[in-house]
Structure 1
Amino acid sequence: MPENVELQQLVEEEQEEELKFHRPKSKNRYPYLGLILATLSSLFFSLCSVIVKWMSQVNPTALAAYRFLGVLLPAIPIMIYHRQPVYPKGKRIMLLLRCFTGTAGLMLSFYAFRHMPLSDASVIVFSVPVFTSIFARMFLKEPCGWFNVFSIILTFIGVVLITRPPIIFGNTINSLGESDQRPEMWGAVAAFSSTLFGANAYVILRALKDVHYSVIMANFGTYGFVQCIMFTYFIGALCLPTCGTDRYLIVALAVSSFLGQILLTTAMQMEQAGPVSIARSSDIVYAFIWQVLFFNEIPNRFSVAGAILVMSSIILTGLRKWVLALPHDAALKRKLSLLTK
C-alpha cells in the first residue's frame, strides 16, 4: 500500500513537471515596458537635437565627435564583458560601411538641426524607416509592394510641404524661413541626405544582425569620433568651449546619446520592431514642443501638415511591421491584410 502511494505521488510530480514544461511561458510582467523605453529613447535623442541647436558657437561636426565619444566609451566595457571580438571575421567590410553611412548621416543631421527649425529637421531626418524599404529592395532583394510605394509618396509630399521649394511654391510662400534662405535650404538638403545615409545604415544593420550590439557601437563610435575630429581639425573648428555651461551641455549631449541608444536597444529586445518604430515617432512631437519652448519658433501650417503626413507614413509602416510579425493564422492579421500587400 505505501508503495502504491509513493508511485502515485511520483506520477503526479512527473505530470506536474510535464505541465510546467509545456505550459506557455507567461508574457513580460510589464507588457508595455518596451514601448515606454522606446518613447524615453526618443526623449533623450530629441534633447540631443536641442543641445546641438542651442550651442550655436560650436561647430556641429565637433558636437558630433562628442556624441560619438559618448557612444564609444560605455560600449568598450560592455564588449569586453561579453568577450566579443573587435572586428569579427567576415563582417569587417559591412562594419566599415555601417560606420561610414552612420557617421555621414549623423554629421548631416547635426548640420540640419543647426540651420533649420528643429521640428522641420526632425521630421525629415526621422523619415528614415520609410526610405529603408527602397534600399532593402535594391540591396537585400526584399519585396516592395504597393504599400511601400504609397508610404514613400506620402513621405515625399510631407517633405515637400516642410521644405517648400520655390520651384513648386514660387515666391508667394516663404521657403523654410522669412530671412536669408540659403542656410536653411542647405539645411534641408543636409536633412534629406542624412535620411538617405540613415536608410542605408538600417539596411546594413540587418546584414549585421548576428553581430553583438556592443561591437557595432564600439566600431561606430571609434570611426565617427576619429572622422569628426579630423574634419574639424582641417577646417579649424576643433576646440573646447570655454564657458562652464557649454561644457556641461557637451557632457549632457554624450550622456543623452548613450542613454537613448541603450534604451532603444533594450526596447528592440523586448518589443517587436513595428511598435517600437511607432513609439519612436514621438521624437517629432518632442521636437515641436522644444521648438516652441526653447527657441520661440512657431511652426506654420505647411510644416504641421507635412509633419502629419510623415508621421502617418511612419505609423503605418510600424503597423505593417507588427502585422507581418503576427502568426499566420492570427485573426488580426486577416483583418489588416491590406497592410501586408
Structure 2
Amino acid sequence: MPDFALRRDKLRSLVKKSGLHALLVTNFTNVSYLTGFTGDDSYLLLSQHGEVIISDPRYTEQLDDECPGLVQVIRRPPTKMSDAVSAVLKSTGVQQVAIEAASMTVAFRDTLAAGLGDVQLHSSNGLVEQLREIKDKEEIDAIRAAIKCAQQAFGVIRASLRPEQSEKQVADELEYQIRLFGGKKTSFEPIIGVGPRGALPHGRPSDKKVGEDDFILIDWGARMGGYISDLTRVLVTGKISPKLERIYGVVLAAQLAAIAEIKPGAVMKDVDAAARGVIEKAGFGPKFGHSLGHGIGMEVHEAPRLAADQDRPLRPGMVVTVEPGIYLPGWGGVRIEDDVLVTKSGHEVLSSTPKQLQDCIVTA
C-alpha cells in the first residue's frame, strides 16, 4: 500500500517553499496519487494543517473504503463545486491558495475567485507532478505488472497474426488480450501501421490488411493497477528488404546508444542527443521528428521528457520511454520503444520483448 500521507507531507513542503498556504488539487490523477481515491469529480485541498477532499454523494462509500480517515466534504445538489470549494477555503482561514493552472478552466477560476472575498488565488504548475516523477517501490511494481500484461498480450497477437487481419482488428484483439491477462484496458488506442502507414507516428488503426505489406508497426501498452506501460515493436510479415534492414538497424543502434547513457545525473537532452546523433549520422536526421521519450506512470505522457530542450539530470526512480524512430512517407516507419527505470547505479530496461530484426520475423 503506497504511503499517501507521506506523499501529502512532501507536497506540503513544496507548497510551503512556494510561499503559499495551501494547494487546491483539481487534476483527478493527482488527487488519486495523493489519496488513493480512484473516482473523479473530486478535489483535494491541502494546507499546512491538513487536507480535505471535496466530493459528492456518489462517492461517499468509495471514499470511506479507499481513503479511510481522510476528511470529507460532500456537496449535495444543487450545491455547485465552486460554492463547496469556496466554503471549505473560507473555513480554513487560509489567505493565499495555489491552484493547478494546467487543470483548472478560466471559467471555474473566475467563478471561484468571485466567491472568495479576500482569499487570493495563485497559479502554480507541476507541484504534484514533481513528486510523481520519482516512482516508489509500489509504483515500480505496478509498472512492471503493466509491462508484463502488455507483453503477454503482444505474444498472443504475434502468434496469431494473419494476412487478412486489418489494423483495427489487431488493435481490438490487443485490447481483448490485455483484459484477459488482467489489465483494465490498453494504455491508449493502439497505434497499428502496416507498411506506409507506419510513417504516421500517431496513426489510428484503419482497415488496411496485415498482408498488404512486408512489415507492421505496433505501439501499445496496458493499464493495470492504476499504472501503464508503453511499448513499440515492428514485426516483419514478408521479406526483409535492404531498405528495411538498414533503417531498422539504424533505429535499433540509436535506441541502444541512448539507453546506454541513462543513469543518475545524465542530462536528459544528452540522452536524446545520443540517439539523435546516430540517426543524423546515417542521414535520416529530419525523419526523426519527435523527442526521444517521456515519463510514464499513472498517465501515458508525464514528466520527465527526454528531449533536446531538457537540461535537467535524471534521478533514480524515474521511468522513461526510449523510442527513436525514422519515418519515410510513402514507405513506412520504424520505431522501437522500451520502458527504462533509472536506478541508483545506472538503469534497468523493464521491458523484454525481443527486438533484434531476426527476432521480429513472423509468419502471417
TM-score normalised per structure 1: 0.25
More helix by share: 1
Comparing both chains, which one has the higher relative contact order based on Cα–Cα distances under 8 Å and sequence gaps of 6 or more?
Answer: 1
